[in-house]
Amino acid sequence: MTQSEVLLTPFDFDAVIAGKGYESGPLRVLLAAQQLEVIIPSRSYRKQPRDYDRIRFRERNIVDRFINKLKWCRRISTRYEKLARRFIAFLHFASTLIWLQRNVNGT
């Protein structure tokens, strides 16, 4: 069992959005067998690029930027908390602060 199979097993979703690094034939076959929509752009050296939903792929940028903002919280990026419950609590706290910074605008 490959690492991608292990990561995909415990979740229930309808699409996989990933970068060019995950563009491989065996992974696409695995995802198609699970009836998942594959949103992975082809690598630049492919002679015949595969089609993918470009609009949904752009939405991946939102998640990437959010994770980058979470990395600014040193307590989360280095995982000071040993207990999962406390770590998740700090994730919620940092997420709330990020949301407030984005939506309140000083009012």
pLDDT in tens, 45-101: 888 878 888 888 888 888 889 989 988 888 888 888 888 999 999 999 999 999 898
Answer whether 95's CB lies under 8 Å from 70's CB. yes
Strand partners, 16: 38
- Give yes or no: residues 49 and 91 share one domain: no
Range of the domain at 30: 3-55
Q: State pTM to two decimals.
A: 0.63
Q: Does the pLDDT of residue 106 top 60, yes or no?
A: no
93 in a structural domain? yes
62 in a structural domain? no
User: How many structural domains are present in the chain?
Assistant: 2
37 in a structural domain? yes
- Give yes or no: residues 48 and 80 share one domain: no
- Give yes or no: residues 10 and 48 share one domain: yes
What would the two tokens of residue 92 be?
Answer: 């919620």
pLDDT at 37: 86
Mean pLDDT value across residues 25-48? 83
